[in-house]
Amino acid sequence: MRAAAGVVLGQRYRLVREIAVGGMGEVWVAHDESLARDVAIKVLREEFAGDPNFLSRFRTEARNSAALSHQNIAQLYDYGEQEGSAFLVIELVLGEPMSDLLEREPVLPPRKLLPILAQTARALHHAHDAGVVHRDVKPGNILLGRGGRVKITDFGVSLATNQVPMTATGMVMGTAQYLSPEQAVGQPATPHSDLYSLGIVAYEALAGKRPFTGPTAVDIAVAHVNAPVPPLPAAIDKRLAGIVLSLLAKDPRDRPPSAAQLARILDEMVERTPATGVAVVVPARRSSGRGGTTMIAPGADVRVVPPTQQPGPRR
What is the 3-class SS of the chain, one letter each residue? CCCCCCCEECCCEEEEEEEEECCCEEEEEEEECCCCEEEEEEEECHHHCCCHHHHHHHHHHHHHHHCCCCCCECCEEEEEEECCEEEEEECCEEEEEHHHHHHHCCCCCHHHHHHHHHHHHHHHHHHHHCCEECCCCCHHHEEEEHHHCEEECCCCCCEECCCCCCCCCCCCCCCHHHCCHHHHCCCCCCHHHHHHHHHHHHHHHHHCCCCCCCCCHHHHHHHHHHCCCCCCCCCCCHHHHHHHHHHCCCCHHHCCCCHHHHHHHHHHHHHCCCHHHCCCCCCCCCCCCCCCCCEECCCCCCEECCHHHCCCCCC
Q: Side-chain half-sphere of 33: how many Cα atoms within 13 Å?
A: 11
| Inter-residue contact 66 to 89 (CB < 8 Å) | no
Is residue 126 located within the same domain as residue 237? yes
Mean pLDDT confidence for 172-197: 88
Res 145 pLDDT > 60: yes
Same domain, 201 and 103: yes
Determine the pLDDT at residue 169: 32
Residue type, 146: R
230 pLDDT above the threshold of 70: yes
Q: How many independent structural domains does the chain possess?
A: 2
More confident call, 74 vs 286: 74
Do residues 74 and 93 lie in contact, with contact meaning Cβ atoms separated by under 8 Å? yes
Mean predicted confidence (pLDDT) in 295-312: 41
User: Are residues 88 and 99 located together in one domain of the fold?
Assistant: no
Provide mean pLDDT across the span 44-58: 87
Q: What is the mean pLDDT of the chain?
A: 83
Confidence of residue 56 (pLDDT cuts 50, 70, 90): confident
- Residue 62: which domain range? 8-93
Catalytic residue flag (residue 136) = yes
Asked if 23 and 107 sit in the same domain, the reply is no
CATH number of the domain enclosing 57: 3.30.200.20
Question: Is pLDDT above 90 for 78?
Answer: yes
Give a yes or no: residue 299 inside a domain.
no
Higher pLDDT, 156 or 74: 74
Distance between CA atoms of 314 and 270, rounded to whole angstroms?
39
Residue 58 and residue 154 in contact, taking contact as beta carbons nearer than 8 Å: no
The reported pLDDT for the residue numbered 166 is 34
User: Which residue in the list 38, 51, 100, 136 is annotated as catalytic?
Assistant: 136
Same domain for 257 and 245?
yes
Last residue of a domain, one of 43, 74, 93: 93
138 lies in some domain: yes
Output the CA angle 125-130-134, nearest 5 degrees.
65
Indicate whether 314 belongs to any domain.
Answer: no
pLDDT tens digits, 154-178: 875 444 444 333 333 333 445 789 9
Q: 247 pLDDT band (50/70/90 cuts)?
A: very high
Sheet holding 150-152, edge to edge: 150-152, 142-145, 93-97, 295-296
Please, which pLDDT band fits residue 303 given cuts at 50, 70 and 90?
A: very low
Torsion region of 186: left, alpha or beta (phi above 0 gives left; psi -120 to 50 gives alpha): left
> 153 and 250 share a domain?
yes
Flag whether pLDDT at 79 surpasses 90.
yes
Higher-pLDDT residue of 231 and 56 is 231
